[in-house]
Amino acid sequence: MKIRLSRSILPNLFTVLNIFFGFLCIIQAMHGKFVLAGIYVVCSAICDTLDGLMARLTHSSSEFGVQLDSLADAVSFGAAPSVLVYALFLHSYGPFGTLVASAPLVFGALRLARFNVQLVGFSKDSFVGVPIPLSALVLVAFIFFFGPDVIQADATLQHVFTAVIAACGLLMVSTIRYPTLPKFTRKAFREQPWLTGGCVLGGIIIAVTLGKGLFPVLALVIVAGVVYSAYGQIRKLLTGKPAGKSK
């Protein structure tokens, strides 16, 4: 009996690993190992990037892969962060805490559904709303930056984190556009010098700070999208012209 291996097995393997790391995040969060749980979300994000890369390199993109990827994202960047923030501190806020903790999962699922039905004809240069992996990474980066013990002991910081969780949820289903990551080629540097250079600088900051700089870098990305969108709306009202090229 011959076992036929298709080219899609490699990208799908990374997608399955994405789901597995999301499951590990949930387990560690339930055991109070919040930093390790956050690290597993980062591992899921790496696998999420690699599955798309492998699909392009092997020319094995498929409808099955698209649907599997969405299911993986719902687990790793929706359910896992929701369980993580609930176990970290939101469980002590009763029904309100449960509602806020559900935001990554609920809004993430809504975003993924919208993305899937709009898959044909969408812009490859930008995302509408904050991508669900970026939202999840902002939350775990907040935990890395301040530390679980500090968050659990500081009520003010908990209120700030609650606002961040809610904001990330709402931004996922917003119409604010965020650019896709550049391909880091000479052409990309020529066409998008600020975006490409900013990504390189952000990567250097994260590496030099051993991950501590992840939250400030990602928070800047989130805020920049909101500010640029607001600027575009104000300019359009005042001059009738958009801030930049429509995509």
Specify the amino acid at residue 225.
G
The segment with the largest mean pLDDT, out of 3-7, 70-74, 229-233, is: 70-74
List the domain range (segments joined by +) for residue 24: 9-179
Q: How many CA atoms lie within 13 A of 238 on its CB side?
A: 7
143 within some domain? yes
d(CA 165, CA 175): 18
Give a yes or no: residue 14 inside a domain.
Answer: yes
52 C-beta neighbours (distance < 10 Å), count:
16
Overall average pLDDT of the 213-223 stretch? 89
Residue 195: inside a domain = no
**Domains of the chain: total:** 1
Q: What is the mean pLDDT of residues 189-210?
A: 72
Residue 150, H or E segment: helix 148-153
Residue 247 has pLDDT above 50, yes or no: no
In a domain? residue 227: no
Query: Is residue 213 in some structural domain?
Result: no
> What's the pLDDT at 29?
97
Torsions phi, psi of 128, nearest 5?
Answer: -90, 115
Per the domain annotation, does 65 fall within a domain? yes
143 pLDDT above the threshold of 70: yes
Half-sphere exposure (CA, 13 Å, Cβ side) for 11? 23
Please count the other Cβ atoms lying within 10 Å of the Cβ belonging to residue 103.
24
174 domain residue, yes or no? yes
Please count the CA atoms within 13 angstroms of the CA of 5 that sit on its side-chain side: 6
Residue 115 banded pLDDT, cuts 50, 70, 90: confident
Residue 166 pLDDT exceeds 90:
yes
CATH number of the CATH domain containing 173: 1.20.120.1760
Is residue 26 in a domain? yes
The CA distance from 62 to 60, in Å, is 6
Question: With 70 as the cut, is the pLDDT of residue 125 above it?
Answer: no
- pLDDT score, position 88: 97
pLDDT in tens, 44-100: 999 998 888 887 777 767 778 888 999 999 999 999 999 999 999 999 999 999 999
pTM, entire model: 0.84
